Amino acid sequence: MAVDSALSSPLGPPACEKDAKALQFIEEMTRNADAVQERVLSEILARNAETEYLKRFELGGSTDRETYKSKLPVITYEDLQPEIQRIANGDRSAILSAHPISEFLTSSGTSAGERKLMPTIKEELDRRQLLYSLLMPVMNLYVPGLDKGKGLYFLFVKSETRTPGGLLARPVLTSYYKSDHFKTRPYDPYNVYTSPNEAILCSDSFHSMYTQMLCGLLERHHVLRLGAVFASGLIRAIKFLQLNWSNLARDIRSGTLNPKISDPAIRRRLAEILVPDNDLADFISAECSKDNWEGIITRIWPNTKYLDVIVTGAMAQYIPTLEYYSAGLPMACTMYASSECYFGLNLNPMCKPSEVSYTIMPNMAYFEFLPDYHPNSNSEEVKLVDLVDVEIGKEYELVITTYAGLYRYRVGDILRVTGFHNSAPQFHFVRRKNVLLSIDSDKTDEAELQKAVENASKLLSEFNTSVVEYTSYADTKTIPGHYVIYWELLVKDAANAPNDDVLGRCCLEMEESLNSVYRQGRVADNSIGPLEIRVVKTGTFEELMDYAISRGASINQYKVPRCVNFTPITELLDSRVVSSHFSLALPHWTPERRR
């Protein structure tokens, strides 16, 4: 610990001078959270004063919070659609931001079935980079010696498109991995990955995953931490190993790369790394051919100290599976971010998943909080609260004003205040509003599910059959997980009831009706399995109601839940299943937007 004691941090003794500076920065920002927020808002308003959007609200040059809040409305993506569309169509005037929009980041949140397009500007990359640079200094406080080995991270780029006006549209991580910030990052002993850039940057997800797994196996003793962005991604990597270990072992035995991996940059890079290793090939084959995969992560990568993966929010459903594969390794959720803006980090990353709180960094954007307990939280009258004024125990929806030109924009995340670090609040991620079903980054809401059921049930009319009731469930016991839709049918002509083929087509029709993030997960990422319809016995939904009423629900107010995840209820439904049907083909998906 050769760090000057003057650089020591209240968060703990830093591992090196670079870490000391990062921790000091966190302290400065969180101690002065309110002043930083005031400065951030004033900078955003001053530089964008001449934009069409801000001029509309006649701020008259004011950059203070009171004027801003009194003049600008709180908005959602739908309110901004016209402006976004103009930018996408090539209007380069200063509509939202004085700085040119450099590209669109495609959110996993959708609007009318397509990914939302978030405008961004070049300098936002620096702000994201700054947040990334704080993660390892915090982690080093809790896990010593991470400079003595490497991280095995499964990182991927996804397809990108151009808008009619020629701007790139791609996910924020694809934008980051393809940037010089990532590609030409300086050597940092605390942040060395086993995956070569060539593999991360390869757009073919099979080639990319194969190579990243191979490199991780080659360096199995050096791996100290293992991760992916979201839990679903890490589980997919384990499944990939299950399916491909014999080919991987063959490559290791022969010292030559599987000819299927044709990407030239990967082949050149692997030619430098791969040498025949019989012992390693034998070991991989012996471990992977066992029926029992419990603890496979620690068996193959015995020096792993923790999993670096988000298991908060919708990803919490994967905790038991990851515990099984990793023999209970700690899971670190390090940051909270979105396409709109990167928000903050977890200052206690080795805590239990249920205790994760994210500290919002006040320099990233101007943050406001819409109290979520209010019965009428859409109302104009509800007062939004500033970052330092939120109250412990209360829930709020996050509202942001960004340098890139989102003003009082509702993100759609509900957060609960758990405490403070200095004057910066810390938040538990409670949920994303209106999300019914999610397996990977897909987010399906009630209206989308309803539409999908309606469209699919049209296929039943020629069989004189209708869907009387339905509910759904995200089944993550299969890998990849898949949507299960329970249907109770009214079959009027038993002799001509819909058969398995018809119900299989209903599954596909539902998938065709779901949003593009779902269909991309099915088609390109293979992160979501075929949708399943389980037909339940007549009367099952009555029983479901009886069950809810026996547990205290009011008979007058009872509504069929459109998604169920309470085990006794899924058990009840499963015990009444008469037949089950799967989508027999892939739905339609291309990177191009439908509109």
Q: By CB under 6 A, which span of 146-154, 285-293, 332-340, 460-468 interacts with ligand AMP?
A: 332-340
Q: By CB under 6 A, which span of 38-46, 292-300, 307-315, 574-582 interacts with ligand AMP?
A: 307-315
Q: Does 361 help bind ligand AMP (rule: CB under 6 A)?
A: no
Provide, rounded to whole angstroms, the least separation between the CB of residue 395 and ligand AMP: 14
Cβ proximity to ligand AMP: between 9 and 426 the closer is 426
Strand order in the sheet with 168-170: 114-120, 103-111, 168-170, 161-162
Give the three-class secondary structure for 574: helix
> What's the CA gap between 468 and 367, in Å, rounded?
45
Instruction: Give me the helix-helix angle, 205-218 and 264-273, nearest 10°.
Output: 10
Cβ proximity to ligand AMP: between 345 and 544 the closer is 345
Q: Does 108 help bind ligand AMP (rule: CB under 6 A)?
A: yes
Q: By CB under 6 A, which span of 103-111, 161-169, 209-217, 477-485 interacts with ligand AMP?
A: 103-111
Provide, rounded to whole angstroms, the least separation between the CB of residue 360 and ligand AMP: 12
Provide, rounded to whole angstroms, the least separation between the CB of residue 108 and ligand AMP: 3
Cβ proximity to ligand AMP: between 96 and 333 the closer is 333
**How big is the site for ligand AMP, counted in residues (CB under 6 A)?**
17
Cβ proximity to ligand AMP: between 334 and 472 the closer is 334
Q: Rule CB under 6 A: choose which of 30, 48, 97, 107 binds ligand AMP.
A: 107
| Gap between the terminal Cα atoms of the chain | 57
Q: What's the full length of the chain, in residues?
A: 595
Tokens, residue 238: 């384990």
Tell me if 403 sits within 8 A of 124, measured CB to CB: yes
Q: By CB under 6 A, which span of 178-186, 262-270, 273-281, 310-318 interacts with ligand AMP?
A: 310-318
Tell me if 351 sits within 8 A of 141, measured CB to CB: no
Provide, rounded to whole angstroms, the least separation between the CB of residue 242 and ligand AMP: 27
Q: List b or e across 434-465, with b for residues whose CB sees 16 or more CB atoms inside 10 angstroms.
A: ebbbbbbbbbbbeebbeebbeebbebbeebeb
Q: By CB under 6 A, which span of 183-191, 231-239, 309-317, 501-509 interacts with ligand AMP?
A: 309-317
* Amino acid at position 99, single letter: H
Helices (H) and strands (E) in the chain, counts: 20, 20
Provide, rounded to whole angstroms, the least separation between the CB of residue 203 and ligand AMP: 18
Of 400, 436, 398, 403, nearest to 415 by C-alpha is: 398
Write each residue from 31 to 70 as x if it is in contact with ligand AMP (CB under 6 A), else as -, in one continuous string: ----------------------------------------
Write each residue from 152 to 191 as x if it is in contact with ligand AMP (CB under 6 A), else as -, in one continuous string: --------------------x-------------------
Q: Does 338 help bind ligand AMP (rule: CB under 6 A)?
A: yes
> Which residues, numbered 544-573, are part of the site for ligand AMP (CB under 6 A)?
none
Provide, rounded to whole angstroms, the least separation between the CB of residue 92 and ligand AMP: 25
Cβ proximity to ligand AMP: between 8 and 161 the closer is 161
> What's the CA gap between 304 and 250, in Å, rounded?
24
Q: Does 228 help bind ligand AMP (rule: CB under 6 A)?
A: no
Q: Say which residues have a Cβ less than 8 Å from residue 27's Cβ, sequence separation at least 6.
A: 9, 10, 11, 422
Of 36, 56, 174, nearest to 104 by C-alpha is: 174
> Which residues, numbered 370-429, are part of the site for ligand AMP (CB under 6 A)?
411, 413, 429
Provide, rounded to whole angstroms, the least separation between the CB of residue 521 and ligand AMP: 12
Sign of CA dihedral 195, 197, 203, 207: negative
Cβ proximity to ligand AMP: between 301 and 306 the closer is 306
Provide, rounded to whole angstroms, the least separation between the CB of residue 88 and ligand AMP: 17
- Three-point CA angle 519, 564, 309, nearest 5°: 60
Q: Rule CB under 6 A: choose which of 32, 37, 317, 339 binds ligand AMP.
A: 339
Cβ proximity to ligand AMP: between 141 and 311 the closer is 311
> What's the CA gap between 100 and 584, in Å, rounded?
46
Q: Say which residues have a Cβ less than 8 Å from residue 115's Cβ, sequence separation at least 6.
A: 106, 107, 108, 109, 169, 516, 517, 593
* Amino acid at position 509, single letter: E
Q: Rule CB under 6 A: choose which of 88, 284, 310, 507 binds ligand AMP.
A: 310
Tokens, residue 6: 């003057």
Cβ proximity to ligand AMP: between 172 and 489 the closer is 172
* Count of Cβ atoms closer than 10 Å to residue 485 Cβ: 25
Provide, rounded to whole angstroms, the least separation between the CB of residue 193 and ligand AMP: 20
Q: List b or e across 149-172, with b for residues whose CB sees 16 or more CB atoms inside 10 angstroms.
A: bbbbbbbbbbbbeebeeebbbbbb
Provide, rounded to whole angstroms, the least separation between the CB of residue 337 and ligand AMP: 5
Q: By CB under 6 A, which span of 190-198, 335-343, 494-502, 560-568 interacts with ligand AMP?
A: 335-343
User: Which residue is it, tokens 């384990």?
Assistant: 238
Q: Does 432 help bind ligand AMP (rule: CB under 6 A)?
A: yes
Provide, rounded to whole angstroms, the least separation between the CB of residue 57 and ligand AMP: 26
Provide, rounded to whole angstroms, the least separation between the CB of residue 487 and ligand AMP: 29
> Which residues, numbered 439-468, are part of the site for ligand AMP (CB under 6 A)?
441
Q: Does 313 help bind ligand AMP (rule: CB under 6 A)?
A: yes
Q: Does 337 help bind ligand AMP (rule: CB under 6 A)?
A: yes
Q: Are strands 306-310 and 223-230 parallel, antiparallel or unpaired?
A: parallel
